[in-house]
Every structure is written in C-alpha cells, then in structure tokens.
Amino acid sequence: MHSTFPKTIVAFLAFLAILVSIGCVHSAATHAAGNNTAEDNFQRPHTTVGWGMTTNRSGLINYPWQRSLGTSNHSYIQSSAGIIVYAGTNGHKIAGYVRVPAQLGGDVLAKITFTSVEQAVGGVTLQVRGGMSWYQADMNTASKILELRKRDRGIMTTVASIPFTYSTHTPYWIREHVQVSNGVAQINARAWQNGTTEPSNWQVTYSDTRPLPAGNAGAMGDWFKRPFSGAQIRFNSWSYAANGLASPAQ
C-alpha cells in the first residue's frame, strides 16, 4: 500500500505553482520577512519630543528619526504609535527620515490612522535630502485624494493624484515605490484599508525625467487647518526596503 503523503506534497507544490503563475495579489502581511532594510514598530516608551530611535523585533539596525520627527514636540510616541499633531500653523509639515545608506529608489510602507479627516495628510517619503528634496506619497484627507508629490530644491509640486475617500479611526496602508533606470525615475503608490487585500496594481504613477539625487527614507504628517483638540495622525508601522517590497514592521 502506498502512502498518500507524497501525493499531498505534489498537490501542494502544484497549487503553489499555479499561484505564482497567475500572480495572485497579497496583503501587506504576506510579504516575505527579512527583506526590510529598516523598520519601526513604535513599540517603545512614551516620549514628549520626537519619535526617538526606531524599534523592531527583526534584528535590524535601529536609527534615530531625523529633522522634526526627531526634535518637534508635535511628534511623539504614545500607546505604541508614532503621533503627529497640529503644529500651530496650517500647512506646517512635520517630516523626518532615518539615515539609512542613501540611494536612488526603494520601497517604503506605513500603516496610518487619522483620528480626524478632511484636515490631515499622512504619508511616506523616499530619496530625502534634508529639507530640500524628496519624493512623497500621501493620503490627503482634506482633498480626498491619494497623491504623489515631488519636492525639488525646496519647491513642492503635486505630480499625480487619484480620488480616495478616508474615514476616521480606520487604519490604512500606504506604499511608495521608486525605481530609477536610464535617467528616469518611476514613482508609484497605492493605499488600502487595513484588513483588505493590497491592490496588485499601482493606483497612482509618475515618470520623472529629472530624477532627484540619492537620499534616505522617511515619513510625514501635515494639517491643512486646525483640527479639533486631541486629533492625531498615528503611525503604527513603518518600514523601508532598499530592494524589492517592504514588509510590515515586526
């Protein structure tokens, strides 16, 4: 009598082959672990000024957050989240980055919740060089769009956008991917509600024939007008992969 175990293995491998061949979509949580260059799970003691040093359970190097995410009292750690609150001036961006080795392109992923919508913007950045240049993908709840922006020598321009409606207290994932080839930077982004499947296609794209220089990966938050007291932009996961797709922070 032959065992049925080999047949089970063969059937399972055949099933995997079918999944690969049809290019199944996947949620953020199913990306292979270990691809990240840096990540932050925000699982650390509360702060009152800045996000401090990244933390993770993956054994990756931890980096201090730079610029206003490291120095502003409008950004802090609370209840396992990186918080950004109103900075006192409409449109005052709270932004920062981690000083991973600078490079062209990469992939950055974050999980963001807005406790107030129609006022807030939250997103991620690549190729950050101080406060002067970067590529930004953000969820703009004020304009109800998912957008790509380019900051070049201090000038910010929206280069592409699609309609996207947001709800309060609902976690969303946002992914930005930049690939530079033959003198052109391809910037892509997509966003989706937590608990749903990550889209297989990029929702908003832009080809930049004047690519920005190499830089770091980061995050940002902004308020277009004063929110009600206590409103927050909350980051619960941030990760960056120099190559391939970033997976959620562990």
Q: State residue 155's pLDDT score.
A: 95
Check whether 30 has a pLDDT greater than 50.
Answer: no
Which CATH number does the domain 27-241 belong to among 1.10.3210.10, 2.60.120.560, 3.30.750.24, 1.10.1040.10? 2.60.120.560
Q: What CA–CA distance (Å, rounded) separates 111 from 115?
A: 13
Q: What HEC string does 48-112 produce?
A: CCCCCECCCCCCCCCCEECCHHHHCCCEEECCCCEEECCCCCCCCCEEEEEEEEEECCEEEEEEE
Chain position carrying tokens 């592409």:
160
pLDDT of 69-123, one tens digit each? 999 999 999 999 999 999 999 999 999 999 999 999 999 999 999 999 999 999 9
Q: How confident is the model at residue 140, as a pLDDT?
A: 98
Q: What percent of the chain has pLDDT over 70?
A: 86
